[in-house]
Amino acid sequence: MDFRLTEDQRALRGGVRDLLEGRFGREALRAAVDSGGALDRDLWRELGAAGFFALRLPEEEGGVGLGLPEAVLVFEEAGRVLLPGPLVATHMAAGSVPGAAEGAVVVTAVDEGLVPWLEQADVVLGDTTGAVPMRSVDPLTPLHRVPVPVSVPAPGEGEARLQAALLTAAEQVGSAGRTTETAVSYAREREQFGQVIGGFQAVKHLCAGMLVRTELARAAVRAASLTVDPVEIAGAKLLADEAATANARDCLQVHGGMGFTWEADVHLHLKRAWVRAGLRLPAARAEEAVAAGL
Amino acid sequence: MDLSCTDEEEEFRARLREWLTAALPGLPPRPDPMDWPARRAYDCGWQRRLHDAGYADVHWDASPTQRLIFLEETELAGAPYVGANFVGLLHAGPTIAAEGTAEQRARWLPPVLRGDDVWCQGFSEPGAGSDLASLRTRAVRDGDAYVVTGQKIWTSHAEVADWCELLVRTDPEAPSRHRGITWLAMPMDAPGITVRPLRTLAGSTEFAEVFLDEVRVPVENRVGEENDGWRVTMVTLSFERGTAFVGEVVACRRLLGELARAARKNGTWDDAVLRRRLGRLSAEFQALWRIVQANVSEAQATGGVPGAGGSVFKLHYSHARQELYEAAAAVLGPDSLDLGRDWTLDRLSSLSYTIAAGTSQIQRNIVAERILGLPKGR
């Protein structure tokens, strides 16, 4: 047993981090917000060329030939920088929807009564009858609402749905890690009462709690990528949703008044975390799924 | 990332399972929790069996992964806990192994491994809890002995212990409070020691106060240099925060299963709020188990004792375990007020988890300062 990342996995994570920080750093993030939710097709193709979508396709089909454990590392990095677009749906469609693997085609999917990026996508999986646009809480995730008949039971969690939930959870972990770092770095700089606020236990303990949530969710997500156990995946999504949303809120609190401004990035993390928590196995069903395993 | 065991690890597990299956039916009945001499005899008898089967030093010499497997399998099999041998095997023993002289190791370690000697811990004092370095129990050198006077508290198994790992202040004038502390092995039958049991809120006497009135401890019983006891002690505390809770996470996952069965039986399972609460707890304990595996992997690779990652684990574990008993109370309803139920006593005992072995507040300071790099300060 060795639960640590292998050398190759660390190199993969480092490579993806460098790529995303170079291609989607803070300026690009704020420009995307200002653009009002346009999808950057050039970036999408670059992600495709880097193997983001074809990561798990076999090499003989033009893929990278890696597995779910590597995919969660890559999606964690995407979550860190708030990379926009229907990343999970397109990744899952690679190999079945032509063009998805290369980043030439943008694929989205109906999920939990919502369709992200409906107008920008080339292919939509699922029934969009009656879809109406809504003013999405997240400036970087346009949403449509689709009616969900009350009489229809919730869909079963097939393997593909579970994998999509796990990759979404990985993005949440990335966001939770980033908001922890942001809170800590602000707490080390901001001074009040003649000292940096990170020296006050009231602030330190908030930050420590953020790290605990992140580590718990990260261990759950990584383990689930290895076991691919449905109950463990549901638990991982549950804890990752909790880590991303609660950490964004604590990060906001550490920032004080600045955290409530549009200029600070923390609201972007919170809003995206809310959207991801509402998609792909939301808390109520995840809790039921884990309880059913007891 | 690999959660599967190597062939060697699987072989260790299989051999241990086989031994447990054969050994456990031969154990005597569990002693009355209030009968301390009987508890000592039971715990030492178990340690002797482990010793004779070659598992005595699993906490010290085995690899972290083997230790994890040992703790997991013994818990799954329902084997006894380390009990009265906790301090000997997990605190004092590792300290002596790391810092003692060859003579000291030869003198003290074999009896611990055989289950002959029981150790207790004299660290905390009424005025030195979280702030352990403020301890004031005085030791004054007098020829070939230290003369020790002071008071210790929260000492488990003091009534039945043979030895006490004792922290004393040998230099009150030292420039730093952390200097001037010395680690001594004190024989519990020395004149001048008075042990007074402390009754906990659970009604039992799990701890004792130990009063020391000019107790003579031979200088040869000092481990490490005089005034260097703080550093010597840190080795021990790292052990406590490392793999000490592995068996308990396994136990919690079993308890949660029992609770779900009880809830299905008495109808509370139909309450979606309660059911979902149990689901969330189950996800948390599963993740805690994964954190244990991550910490053990790290320890295995670096060869060192577990670091601050243990604090991350302990913070959530202690909270989750208390939540487990709160959920149990909701499942049991009126029966949760019956002290005749194990759940009720365990709920009371669990109140110490966020305090013992470093309060949650101290653990958060450790996480914030040592992992996140935030400044020291209050």
Within-domain flag for A274: yes
The tens digit of pLDDT for each residue in B266-318 reads 999 999 999 999 999 999 999 999 999 998 888 888 765 556 678 899 999 99
pLDDT at A29 over 90: yes
What is the pLDDT at residue B113? 96
Among A109, A143, A167, identify where a domain stops: A109
Per-residue pLDDT band for B235 (boundaries 50, 70, 90) equals confident
Residue B250 in this model has a pLDDT that exceeds 60: yes
A-chain residues near B2 (CB < 8 A): 1-3, 226
Confidence of residue B236 (pLDDT cuts 50, 70, 90): low
Q: Average pLDDT of B350-376?
A: 93
The segment(s) of chain B belonging to CATH 2.40.110.10 are: 119-226
Distance CA B109, CA B306 (A): 22
| CATH 1.20.140.10, chain B: domain bounds | 241-371
Can you give the length of chain B in residues? 378
CATH code for the domain in which residue A20 is found: 1.10.540.10
CB A260 within 8 A of CB B311: no
According to the model, what pLDDT value does residue B301 have? 84
Q: Give Cα separations from A160 to A88, A92, A164, A228 (angstroms).
A: 11, 7, 6, 11
At A151 the pLDDT is 57
HEC per residue, chain B: CECCCCHHHHHHHHHHHHHHHHHHHHCCCCCCCCCHHHHHHHHHHHHHHHHHCCCCCCCCCCCHHHHHHHHHHHHHCCCCCCHHHHHHHHHHHHHHHHHCCHHHHHHHHHHHHHCCCCEEEECCECCECCCHHHCCCEEEEECCEEEEEEEEEEEECHHHCCEEEEEEECCCCCCCCCCCEEEEEEECCCCCEEEEEECCCCCCCCEEEEEEEEEEEEHHHEECCCCEHHHHHHHHHHHHCCCCCHHHHHHHHHHHHHHHHHHHHHCHHHCHHHHHHHHHHHHHHHHHHHHHHHHHHHHHHHCCCCCCHHHHHHHHHHHHHHHHHHHHHHHHHHHHHCCCCHHHHHHHHHHHCCCCCCCHHHHHHHHHHHHCCCCCCC
Is the ipTM value over 0.90, yes or no? yes
Same domain flag for A213 and A275: yes
Least CA distance to B269: which residue of chain A? A291
- Residues facing residue B150 across a β-bridge: B212
The pLDDT of residue A4: 94
- Three-state secondary-structure class, residue A115: strand
CB proximity B276 to A under 8 Å: yes
Question: Domain ends where: A74, A91, A109?
Answer: A109
Residue B212: partners with Cβ closer than 8 Å, 6 or more residues away = B137, B148, B149, B150, B151, B152, B192, B193
For position A113, what pLDDT does the model report?
Answer: 94
Verify that A164 and A288 share a domain, yes or no: yes
Would you say B73 and B13 are in contact if contact means Cβ atoms under 8 Å apart?
A: yes
B303 close contact with A: CB closer than 8 A: no
pLDDT per residue as tens digits for the range A154-169: 656 689 999 999 999 9
Which CATH architecture group holds B7-114? Orthogonal Bundle (1.10)
**pLDDT exceeds 60 at position B239:** no
CA of A105 to nearest chain B CA: how many angstroms apart?
A: 32
Please, which contacts does A272-275 make with residues 24 or more away whose CB atoms are closer than 8 Å? A272/A82, A272/A138, A272/A140, A272/A141, A272/A175, A273/A172, A273/A175, A273/A176, A273/A241, A273/A244, A273/A245, A273/A248, A274/A137, A274/A138, A274/A245, A275/A116, A275/A136, A275/A137, A275/A138, A275/A141, A275/A143
Q: Which pLDDT score, from 0 to 100, does residue B242 have?
A: 55
Residue B116 in contact with partner chain A when CB distance is under 8 A: no
Pick B290's closest partner by Cβ from A198, A203, A223.
A223
- The fold adopted by the segment(s) B119-226 is Butyryl-CoA Dehydrogenase, subunit A; domain 2 (2.40.110)
Look at residue A51 and give its three-state secondary structure.
coil
Residues A105 and A215 in one domain: no
Q: Which of A131-135, B9-13, B33-37 has the lowest mean pLDDT?
A: B33-37
Whole-number mean pLDDT of chain A? 95
What pLDDT score was predicted for residue A149?
67
Query: Do the Cβ atoms of A287 and B1 come within 8 Å?
Result: no
The percent of residues in chain A predicted with pLDDT above 70, rounded, is 97
Q: Give residue B296's pLDDT.
A: 87
Name the residues of B annotated as catalytic. 240
CA–CA separation, B155 and B90 (whole Å): 15
Q: Is residue A122 part of a domain?
A: no
Q: What would the pLDDT profile of B125-182 be if each residue is shown by its tens digit?
A: 999 998 999 999 999 999 999 999 999 999 999 999 999 999 999 999 999 989 999 9
pLDDT grade, residue A153 (50/70/90)?
low
* Closest Cα in chain B to A217: B287
pLDDT tens per residue across span A200-241: 999 999 999 999 999 999 999 999 999 999 999 999 999 999
Is residue A146 pLDDT above 80, yes or no? Answer: yes
Confidence of residue A99 (pLDDT cuts 50, 70, 90): very high
Into how many domains does chain A fold?
Answer: 2
Backbone angles phi, psi at A115, to 5 degrees: -130, 110
Nearest to residue A233, comparing CAs of A283, A282, A290? A290
Closest to B239 measured CA to CA, from B300, B306, B314: B306
Give residue B60's pLDDT band: very low, low, confident or very high (50, 70, 90): confident
Domain boundary among A83, A109, A135: A109
**Residue B234's pLDDT band (boundaries 50, 70, 90)?**
confident
- Cβ contact, residue pair A291, B279, below 8 Å: yes
Q: Are A95 and A105 in contact (CB under 8 A)?
A: no
The CATH number of B241-371 is 1.20.140.10
Q: Three-class SS of residue A212?
A: helix
Q: Is residue B326 over pLDDT 60?
A: yes
Which residues, at least 6 apart from A242, have a Cβ–Cβ distance to it below 8 Å? A213, A217, A283
Give A81-94 pLDDT, tens digit per residue: 999 999 999 999 99
Question: With 0-12 CB in 10 A as exposed, 13-18 as middle and 19+ as buried, what is B145?
Answer: middle
- Say which amino acid occupies B163: W
Range of the domain at A24: 7-109
What's the rounded Cα separation, in Å, for the pair B348 and B341?
11
Do A88 and A175 belong to one domain? no
Task: Check: CB of residue B137 under 8 Å from CB of residue B155.
Answer: no
A170, A277: one domain:
yes
User: Is the predicted pLDDT of residue A272 greater than 70, yes or no?
Assistant: yes
Q: Which residue of A has its CA nearest to B264?
A: A294
| Pair B186, B166: CB distance under 8 Å | yes
